[in-house]
Structure 1
Amino acid sequence: MLSFLRDSLLSFCFSYTKNILYGVESLFFCLISFLAYLLDTVKEYIETNEYLQNLYSAVNRFREILKSKDESRLENWLSEVKRYNIRELNTFVRSVERDIEAVKNAIRTEFSNGIIEGVINKIKVIKRIMYGRCSFELLRLKAIMS
C-alpha cells in the first residue's frame, strides 16, 4: 500500500512539475491534487466494499446517537452491529455492553469528567518530567502555576 502511495505521489508531482515552474507553489499544488486523488480513491473503495460500508454506517449511527442524546436507540444499534460480524466492532460492542449504564448516562447527560482527566494528565506529565530532580514543594508550585 505504501509503494502505491509513493508511486502515485511521484507520478502526480512529475506531471505537475513538468510544465510548471519549480518551487513551493508547484509542490503545494501537487500535494493538493494528490490529496484530492486519494480522497476520490478512498471514497470509491468504500463505495465498492460492503465491509467498509457497514463499518462507516455503524460509526456514523453511533455518532448520531451521541449527538441526539437518545439512549433508546442504543440497544437497536448494538444488536444491528452484532449482525455485521466485524471483529473490531464486536469488541467495541462487548465493552459498551459491559458498562451499559455508564454509556447511557454519557448519552443522557451533558456532564463529563474530561476536564478533570486533562488536569490530572498534565500533573502526571509534570511529575514525570521532574522525577528525582526537585522537592515536593517545587513540584506543587509548578503544578499550580501551569
Structure 2
Amino acid sequence: MTTATPRAILPALEKIYLPLDTFAETLLRVLAGALLVTHGYGKILDPFGAVGMVEGLGFYPGVFWSPLLSATEFFGGIFIAIGFLTRPAAFAATIVLLVTVYFHGIVQGQGLGGAEKSILWAAITLFFAIRGANGQSVDAKLGKQF
C-alpha cells in the first residue's frame, strides 16, 4: 500500500507550512516536556509528598510510586524537551497521564470535563512514544533512538 502525499488545495501556502513542519513538531515536544517539568517540579522537591495520593489510587507501596511519579514528570519532562530517550520517557509520561485520566474522570467523578486535559496530554506524549524525536533532538545528534 502506497501512501501518497496529498496535493495542497492552495499550493502557494506550501512554501509557508512545509518548512514549518519540523519546527511545529519540535515546538510541541519542547513545550510538552517543559510543562511536564513545571508540573513535576514541586513533586521532585518532595518526592515522598504524593505517597497518600498514589496509595489512594491503589498504588502500593506509595514510598515506591511517589518518587517514581516525581522522577517521571520532572526528569522525563526534561528528556522529552531535549529529545533524549524520547520514546521511553514519553511512554512513561503517557502511563502517568492515563492514571490522571482515571483519577479525574472516575475517582473524582469529574467525567470527560475533568479528564480532558489529561486525555490531550496523554495523546501528545503517546505521539512521541510512538514517533520518537525528530532531527532536532539529542537522540538525532547521537544517531540513535530507543
User: Greater CA radius of gyration, 1 or 2?
Assistant: 1
TM-score range (shorter-chain normalised) is under 0.3
TM-score, structure 1 as length reference? 0.23
Give the structure with the larger helix fraction.
1
TM-score, structure 2 as length reference? 0.23
Greater relative contact order (Cα < 8 A, sep 6+) = 2
